[in-house]
Amino acid sequence: MTETSDLIVFWIVVLARLLIPLAIPRFPLPAIMAALILDAIDQTIFQQFTNLDLSGYQGYDKALDIYYLTVAYIATLRNWSSLFAFKMGRFLWYYRLLGVVLFEYIGNRAILFIFPNTFEYFFIYYEIVRLRWDPRRMSKKAIVIATAAIWIFIKLPQEYWIHIAQLDMTDFLKENIFHVPLDAGLEEILAANPWLIPTLIILVVVIIVGGRWLMRKLPPKDWGLSFDADSHQDEETGYVETETVKPVSDHFFNNVLLEKIVLVSMVSLIFGKILPNRTASDLQLLVGIAFVIIANTAISHWLAKRGREWSHTLTQFVVMAALNFGLALLYSWLLPRFEGSADLGTMLFFVLLLTLIITLFDKYHPVYQARFAEKPAEIAGEASA
């Protein structure tokens, strides 16, 4: 029987992994770094502070990875001013997303090596550049070289380590570097390795000195350091104020609706593999998702046609979540007629997940459209650079 303390630790970690990514659109770099670090240490937290069965950890971890990377991709719609970098990021994102879906159905870890998570580090690379420089200054060549370097020298070795060799970094360090038992704590590691703290201090000094040297070699900065994505949103840098952008209302069935259905469907299929008590088939799940997305888009389209928009993102989320839950209840009532069924708790989770992604996508995709539609000559120049 699971201890109450184990459940408390588990839900604190899960809620942190669900809530921290919501800061990515406004504070991209610190938020995604926090999400990445939590992703790296959550298994260790479970091992150190709980007695939970971690046999299903792989699926849980991969699903929550996809969740925060989905928010990161939507954040590129809101913030990125380099069209070529955005297109590169979009390709890397959907390439990885396809790989995770295939892995969930085939189960071969080599798939995750073939479809590496290059998008995450490309996102971090772009946001590091944007701290001090206008990303539109990056040439296509520089973006391609950065992508290739991340893919080949960072992600492929990492994916091999995790998914092919199946080695745990913490266990590897304890066994091969620190020479302590696998269950050793920090105090035991430090006691057995007195060289560790001086080495870390030297490493920090080297990083600081090297960083200062590198900063002197970099091109002149375009603006002051800021982790707030809104600090550089003005016409001079090509950014668009998100609060002033209204949803596009010319066509209902378009590529935007298609992308939204594909995005939410693939994410939901991944989560569907780890959620308990799911009884609906994949086809029934996809039909339900498409139905909900079309209904949500129809409402936003109807409002936009009449020159109205949601007063606040939270308002949109709450109203659409209530509507979507009603649609889900209707769908669950219809499922038995097609030899299917749905668990109420699982359904509620899917409703909240779908509504969150749809709300963020609907909020920020018009920003992307407005940003690049307003400067056609500039985009043409960037495309031919």
Instruction: For residue 60, count CB atoms less than 10 angstroms from its CB and return exposed for 0-12, middle for 13-18, buried for 19 or more.
Output: buried
Contact 270, 101 (CB under 8 A): yes
Contact 115, 74 (CB under 8 A): no
Token pair 């609060």 is at which residue?
Answer: 243
pLDDT of residue 246: 59
pLDDT of residue 243: 52
Identity of the residue numbered 327: L
Contact 295, 88 (CB under 8 A): no
Closest C-alpha to 128, from 19, 20, 17, 32: 32
Using CA atoms, how far apart are residues 345 and 54, in angstroms rounded to an integer? 22
Contact 29, 77 (CB under 8 A): no
Contact 99, 128 (CB under 8 A): no
pLDDT in tens, the chain (385 residues): 467 888 899 899 999 999 999 999 999 999 999 999 999 889 888 888 888 887 777 778 888 999 999 999 999 999 999 999 999 999 999 999 999 999 988 988 899 999 999 999 999 999 999 998 999 999 999 999 999 999 999 999 999 988 888 777 777 788 888 888 877 877 888 888 889 999 999 999 998 998 888 777 778 888 888 999 998 776 445 555 555 555 555 566 788 899 999 999 999 888 888 776 666 678 877 887 888 888 888 887 787 777 666 767 888 888 888 888 887 777 777 766 656 556 667 778 888 888 999 999 998 998 998 888 754 444 444 444 4
Using CA atoms, how far apart are residues 243 and 229, in angstroms rounded to an integer? 14
Using CA atoms, how far apart are residues 371 and 360, in angstroms rounded to an integer? 17
- Which secondary-structure segment (H or E) carries 331? helix 313-334
Contact 342, 331 (CB under 8 A): yes
DSSP for 21-55, please give it. Answer: GGGTTTSHHHHHHHHHHHHHHHHHHHHHH-----T
Q: How many other CB atoms sit within 10 Å of the CB of residue 12?
A: 12
Structure tokens at 348: 């509620």
Q: For the chain, give me the number of helices (H) and strands (E)? A: 16, 0
Identity of the residue numbered 250: D
Residues 6+ apart with CB under 8 A from 351: 292, 321, 324, 325, 328
Helix 57-79 / helix 83-106 crossing angle, nearest 10 deg: 160
Contact 263, 361 (CB under 8 A): yes
Using CA atoms, how far apart are residues 292 and 357, in angstroms rounded to an integer? 12
Instruction: For residue 124, count CB atoms less than 10 angstroms from its CB and return exposed for 0-12, middle for 13-18, buried for 19 or more.
Output: middle
